[in-house]
Amino acid sequence: MKTETNETPLLAVDNLVVDYRRGRTTFRALKGVSMTIGTGECVGLVGESGSGKSTLGKAILGLTDVTSGSITFDGSPITHLKGAARRRLAADLQVVFQDPYGSLDPTLTVGQILAEPLTAAGTSRADAHRAVAEMLDHVRLPADTVTRYPSEFSGGQRQRIAIARALVRRPRLIVCDEPVSALDLTTQAAVIDLFIDIQRETGVSYLFVSHDLGVVRRICHRVSVMYRGECVESGPNQTITRNPEHPYTRRLLLASPVADPARQAERRRSWLGLQSPTGSPVP
């Protein structure tokens, strides 16, 4: 499993503050958040709606203004990048959004959707066509997908198309903003396995935003837990998902079901301070 080293992180967020205006008042969505992501690493960002996790992802992508603090990518500041400089960064920094139904242009074929980022960057049509075919194979979709429209595919298939679009320029980091929350459990598992396979094959890094610690447990190397705009706990996956220290993290774990009702009940009793009937550690 990937761990942090002393090398310069691929992404570093330092003491980030983001404020939103609400009429005459100001709402502080991020309150001095710091985190790093290494090359080839998947870092989970977990919290309920309104915790600030999506705001952090948007700040990294340049989709919301930063009040103070800094964001660096491969050692270079990107906090306030705009215009052409931000567009150049898109080759290295991409996103997969939550909604597989709303994130794809319904008027374009899948081939056009995937080729557009390449041709906009100056890639020839022939090279773009080859790259699109390769990406579809990468996400386990048939070759004839290129001639079809998003409406012809299921939610899971659409999310695979969105992943292919994010990968087509071979980025170094992908912000995954709740990428499986709109899918059923079986499809979720298949898409998470795809993310894992892609990272193993390409070395791409992920910031994996989710409200579900059960999902994060399967894919992430490290986890940061957000609560009311602050990072209240962070550490290795196994530490956060098995032995959390913060009460909020424990509540998130209780909200993440396990397949066995007896294990779920035993885990809940343990975390509520009651003795396990077996006396053994509760996973």
Q: Is the pLDDT score of 227 beyond 90?
A: yes
Same domain, 68 and 205: yes
If pLDDT is split at 50, 70 and 90, which confidence band does 4 have? very low
Note whether 12 and 121 are same-domain residues. Answer: no
Last residue of a domain, one of 150, 170, 190: 170
The reply to whether 7 and 53 lie within a common domain is yes
Considering the domain architecture, whether residues 87 and 176 belong to the same structural domain is answered as: yes
- pLDDT value, residue 251: 85
Quickly list H helices, 7-154: 53-61, 83-89, 110-120, 125-138
Q: What's residue 263's pLDDT?
A: 57
Taking the C-alpha atoms of residue 110 and residue 105, their distance in angstroms, rounded to an integer, is 9
Same domain (yes/no): 115, 137: yes
Domain range holding 21?
1-92+171-241
Give the per-residue pLDDT at 254.
78
The residue among 147, 170, 193 that closes a domain is: 170
**What rounded mean pLDDT belongs to the chain?**
88
Chain CA centroid to CA 251, Å: 21
58 & 161 share domain = no
What is the model's pLDDT at position 283? 38
For 57-99, the pLDDT digits (tens) are 999 999 999 999 999 999 999 999 999 999 899 999 999 998 8
- Structural domain includes residue 272: no
The number of distinct structural domains making up the chain is 2
pLDDT for 253 equals 82
* 110-147 pLDDT per residue, tens: 999 999 999 998 999 999 999 999 999 999 999 999 99
Both 157 and 214 in a single domain?
no
State the pLDDT at residue 117: 92
For 167-216, the pLDDT digits (tens) are 999 999 999 999 998 888 889 999 999 999 999 999 999 999 998 888 89
- Looking at the structure, do residues 179 and 110 belong to the same domain, yes or no? no
- Residue 276, pLDDT > 60, answer no
Q: Which alpha helices (DSSP H) does 121-243 contain, by range? A: 125-138, 155-167, 185-202, 213-219, 237-242
